[in-house]
Amino acid sequence: MLKKQLRRDEGGRHDCNKPAALHLIKHYEGLQLKAYQDAVGVWTIGWGHTKTARKGMVVTESQAEALLLDDIAEHAHGVAGALKVKVEQHQFDALVSFAFNVGVGAFTNSTLLKLLNDGNERAAASQFDRWVYAGGQKLGGLVKRRTSERILFVTGKLELL
């Protein structure tokens, strides 16, 4: 199994395979071994993998785990590259979960990131609650996920709703 990791070191990098990030993503993505279309019609498999998912695709749990670790590493690199300020591991984990769900592009263009990079953590944290819509519909699952991400970001506590 391929494990790509970022470990926090003198350069300020983070370990993207910490239990908080993994548990959060696994909990809200859910494991699906057969490809399906998500709420907005995107083919998805495993724990939220979309990059190579296609109709009729089937994976094993170990293949899904490898896809997830690769996807998390990719999103962690995107988050790390967009940050202009130092954050704690729990904040990084929350941001990786957020970017995993909305995409690195949306994350890098978000008001959440702008406020965080401007040094306003409190205002940045309030932005999680704005990202609860998919296809123009407010989704209960996204409300719960953003609440968990915000709690993790602010307090360091992992609360799965």
Q: Give the residue extent of every domain in the chain.
A: 19-155
Confidence of residue 14 (pLDDT cuts 50, 70, 90): low
**How confident is the model over 87-130, as pLDDT tens digits?**
999 999 999 999 999 999 999 999 999 999 999 999 999 999 99
What is the reported pLDDT for 18?
Answer: 59
Q: Say which of 10, 29, 65, 74 is annotated catalytic.
A: 29
Q: What is the pTM of this model?
A: 0.87
What is the reported pLDDT for 152?
Answer: 97
- In the CATH hierarchy, which fold is given to the domain comprising 19-155? Lysozyme (1.10.530)
Q: Which helix (H) or strand (E) holds 37?
A: strand 32-37
Tell me the C-alpha distance between 18 and 26, whole Å: 12
**How confident is the model over 25-77, as pLDDT tens digits?**
999 999 999 999 998 899 999 999 999 999 999 999 999 999 999 999 999 99
Angle between the N-to-C axes of helices 140-155 and 89-102, in degrees from 0 to 180, rounded to the nearest 10: 160
- Known catalytic residue at 74: no
What is the reported pLDDT for 135?
Answer: 87
